[in-house]
Structure 1
Amino acid sequence: METRYYEGCGREGPIRCIFLGEFHPVAGPKIACQFPEDFISKDLFDSLSTFIIPKPILQKKNITFNAPAHKILGYPIYLKSPRYPRNVYVFNLCFVCDNWSRTVQYEPVVKKLGEHLITLEEESAFVSGGSSRLPTFLAHLLYDLNTYRKTTVTEGDTIIHVKVTEIRDDPSTVNDHDVPVLVASIGLPRPGNSSNLSEEPDSSSREDLRDELQDQQPMEIYTNSNWDLTTKQLLPYINGYYHVSKIAAKVNVEKTLVKACIQNLVYYGVVNIFVFCFTKTKYTYPTYTRGRSRPATFGSEVKGLQKLFTGERCTDEICCLTSIDIPSLERIIEDDPNVAVIVC
């Protein structure tokens, strides 16, 4: 059975054609150069010319529109100078993709190339002069972007690097009790530390491992100057055992900043959120039933926990919010006849 793609399916397709449209002072809108040759016919271009060479209000803005069987995106440029016949030169470097293809990842590329062509045009009239290197320029772009998703453009003394960046979905919210785990190879443990911190410790060795971690030196991370300060502080403590609240306390950084940083690392695939329970293989969600089978005589501090027993917060999250340990919380739950536990 043939699979048919459709607009909005989320799939990325290749670049089918790259062309350079311009406004000629005599002929009007036309294709100055394209690769492959004759991919966009003159009749199709004429029917779309108002979108390819738009009004000045749309200059230097990403434009994407659908055509029969194609989706075209461009970045129109208006250059004003007395050296041009009408004191202005308009051109637009456009990518042509399938009409069902997701193209948002190409928008920064089209913009960067458009700005680069401004520099080349101002220096040597590379576009308006009809340079003989234009066909090779477009062919090089098409091949490299489709094959490697990146390219290096060299023209004279000017060099730019272009890369198609993957646009991912927004990561889920990071909670105080979440345990981040490194999934990218960005560093090595210190020599002599043989503990595998990515595995959940069993009940017999958990206390020994916790004591060992208290005195253990952080993991050495090889970072470059592009890492921000908060990320450099957090990475050594992302060991598959510390939850977000503990990491924030270790590095003495506001929890909201730690959550934002970890969420950013999740987005770029450096970190993943690990479902981790301190004492059980399943999460437990205490809920206060408000029944009064028999009176419970607890102090005000314990009674304050009742507002957290809603069935929506697991015991790990409650421990993070109240700085209480798991055994103490479990005793409170067991001793209170008005608390039920949901296990999932």
Structure 2
Amino acid sequence: MGDLLGVAVLGAGHMGADHIRRLDRVISGAGVAAVADPDAGRAEAAVAGLDEVSVHTDVAAALDAPGVEAVLIASPGPAHEEALFAAFARGLPVLCEKPMVPDSAGALRVVEAEARLGRRLAQIGFMRRYDAEYRRLKALLDSGRLGRPLMLHCTHRNVSSPPGFTSAMLIDSSVSHEIDAARWLLGQEPTAVTVLRPAPSSDAPEGLADPQFVLFETDGGALVDVEVFVNCGFGYEVRCEAVCEAGSARIGEEHTMVVTTRGSAREDVAQDYLVRFADAYDREVQAWVDATRRGRVTGPSAWDGYAASVVAEAGVEALHSGRRVAVEPAPRPELYPEAGR
């Protein structure tokens, strides 16, 4: 691919196809060298119009394809562990969409495998760290101008949930973003989780506990609450308010186009995470490409992926048991930085 970083994209579904478009049309310094998806027709459709891209149904074949120097994993979560190990075996740097691995045991296996290598290869796709508003909030909290953070109030709403979405997935899929964002913003680790369940919305599919109210305690004495509502019906909304000793700061009040007509005004509301966080995804992938070309790995680590899994599993246990559940992670290897760094 000449001077471009050749990327193998694993998965050509909704997320993978968007990353293929991004690498081809938005990101500088990289291009798509290979694509793998069990559905060859879907993979072919995702790369239509792109030159010199090989299409595969097998992950190993894509990683071994000519020109591949890095990997972007956008396949379903259960396929991530095998793909990460395959990339590690080849010494290929990886950007892996979250969840890194669906369960904490698998996530710990990934952490231990990377730690044995003695160097980081994986960056995990917690893209909120690259969102302009989240970055401004992080800088403000780090500056100390508002004093010690006491609470984070978070909102995570989706228009509707996809088929097969479970009550546990509200936590281990949706709230996993808030878990990572809270660890990063506060520089603190969650120590316990409690989940409260109001009466389900009438728009929630049968048997789905939606919405939920998730409360995290941290080792720095802060509280983090998350309202997660995945069938709100009216838009995709993500908000966060930090309440500190000397003030508060709120993000997520999307300042989109407002149309005013006789007797009314209408404001656009994002309907999809790829719309709300489009710029964050662009910055995330560009930062990964830039770092990879310099021989570095930055951004959220495999340990961050593991930490999110451990907290989410405690949350799922709290959901089902109705009890406060302690978070008990394994010891953190020296390879990985502490939360918030």
Tell me which interval the TM-score lies in, with the shorter structure as reference length.
under 0.3
TM (norm. structure 2) is 0.24
Please give the TM-score of this superposition, normalised by the length of structure 1.
0.23
